[in-house]
Chain A
Amino acid sequence: KQEVTQIPAALSVPEGENLVLNCSFTDSAIYNLQWFRQDPGKGLTSLLLIQSSQREQTSGRLNASLDKSSGRSTLYIAASQPGDSATYLCAVDTGRRALTFGSGTRLQVQP
């Protein structure tokens, strides 16, 4: 059974810092990995999708990497801003198109 773990569970940083969120998964036979952002009381917004054949994806200040063999992904956020405060979730697709989620990292960026 696929299990997804995210570390740390919570993170507080001052504005302007670069930061890394970690995601690990137990079964390396994945089709893709997706990073989401969730604001309090809201739905999930897709940030980046990395296919199993890719090593990384970039969108603006966000960069996600994937190392399938070691079962790890990282989300790098450059020059963090207070508006980046949210919970970040990673999820993997193991071939049935539905996702298995981690519990998330709650990020607080202080002005």
Chain B
Amino acid sequence: DAEITQSPRHKITETGRQVTLACHQTWNHNNMFWYRQDLGHGLRLIHYSYGVQDTNKGEVSDGYSVSRSNTEDLPLTLESAASSQTSVYFCASSFGEKETQYFGPGTRLLVL
């Protein structure tokens, strides 16, 4: 069955380290998204991509980067992890315009 997976599911890191969270989908969806979920803020958009070599900034993109080298993957990199980036990170994908978004299971990141 087609799916969207995230790894790792849990991660503890130290302030200043570079961290990469993986997202992989097997639906051949064009659109991929990264959100973070925090108490009191709900889900907020970090970065998104409409296709290979396309990336765009969302509302909370500072300190994060993404690259899209193929259809299936959109890794999220925290260049220098900060305690404020402790959060639950969700990856999502959709096929085209006005289509349902499907979410991965999430990655819990703790920055000490």
Contact = CB atoms under 8 A, between A and B. Distances in A.
Nearest to A47: B100
Given A31-B97, A49-B99, A97-B50, 19 more contacts: A42-B106, A43-B90, A43-B103, A43-B104, A43-B105, A44-B90, A46-B100, A46-B101, A51-B98, A89-B43, A93-B98, A97-B99, A99-B33, A99-B35, A99-B45, A99-B92, A100-B45, A103-B40, A104-B42
A91 B99 CA distance: 13
A49 to B, nearest CB: 5
Per DSSP, are chain B's interface residues mostly helix, strand or loop, or mixed? strand
Interface in B36-52: 40-45, 48, 50
Contacts of B58: 98
Contacts of A101: 35, 42-44
Contacts of A31: 97-98
Interface residues of A, number: 23
10 contacts: A46-B101, A51-B98, A89-B42, A96-B48, A97-B50, A97-B97, A98-B45, A99-B43, A99-B92, A101-B44
B27 interface: no
B71 interface: no
A34 interface: yes
Contacts of B45: 98-100
Contacts of A102: 42
A45 B100 CA distance: 10
A96 to B, nearest CB: 7
A74 interface: no
A12 B34 CA distance: 31
B94 interface: yes
Contact of A46 (B31, B33, B102): B102
Contacts of B92: 44, 99
Contacts of B104: 43
